[in-house]
Amino acid sequence: MMINVVTPSVVENLVQLTAMRVSHCIEMTEIVANEGDYHQTIVVSKLKCLLLSNLQSLTSFCSGSYTFNFPCLENVVVAMCPKLKIFSEGVLSTPQLQRVIKQETYYQNEYWTGDLNTTIQQLCTKKGGSNGLPNLTISDTFSNLIEIWKRNPQKFLELQNLIKMEFYKCSSLKYIFTLSMLLSLDHLGTIKVKECSIMEQVIREDEEEATTHEFTFPKLSCISHVPT
């Protein structure tokens, strides 16, 4: 039975580690083992991306009161970790981190409250719906989300409450919206498209949807496109 991945001394020696993905480990309760030497400072110098997925028993990244320093960490993704309550009991330094993504079945939400521990606590109190920051991120990281968006975007619950949408490295997406979808986006303020190599247009107008109606985006203030 595997209840953790590494010891504190081992994780600090992974000096070339840039991404860590831990998934489908049913009995795992923490990622870094608690060995009791709480005076230790653990520096994970190059880690940029951490993904925790389908860990039914996970309660924290580490239950020990170590000091963790992640100078390069930019992305934290949490999916289907129902018992996760806190990241770590000790001091945390994540100067580059500005969001934690929680993946649900049909969508992702972004959360950020200023630090990693309180953000984890916040997102783990949210039970479904888009009740966190009303932001939606679609990317190749979760290819199933792209397929759902292409086939039936209305499955993304509470679309009308979104204020920010980001499409990042969606290598199979040719457009974002149909005309019928625009009726649900009254609160949308920001659209960002980045590194979507075959994207042809933001709004697709099919012949059967052709209309002379005027669509308005009363709160849209920013459209950003970063080419491949």
**pTM here?**
0.62
Query: Which long-range CB contacts under 8 A does 90-96 form with residues at least 24 apart?
Result: 90/38, 90/62, 90/64, 90/65, 90/66, 91/67, 92/67, 92/68, 92/116, 92/117, 93/67, 93/68, 93/69, 94/70, 95/71, 96/70, 96/71, 96/72
Question: What tens digit of pLDDT does each residue of 49-82 get?
Answer: 999 999 999 999 999 999 999 999 999 999 989 9
Check if the beta carbon of residue 228 is closer than 8 Å to that of residue 197. Answer: yes
Mean pLDDT to the nearest integer, 193-213: 74
First to last CA, the chain: 44
Question: What tens digit of pLDDT does each residue of 203-212 get?
Answer: 887 655 555 5
Side chain identity, residue 119: T
Q: Is 226 left (phi over 0), alpha (psi -120 to 50) or beta?
A: beta
List the domain boundaries for the chain.
1-99, 134-228
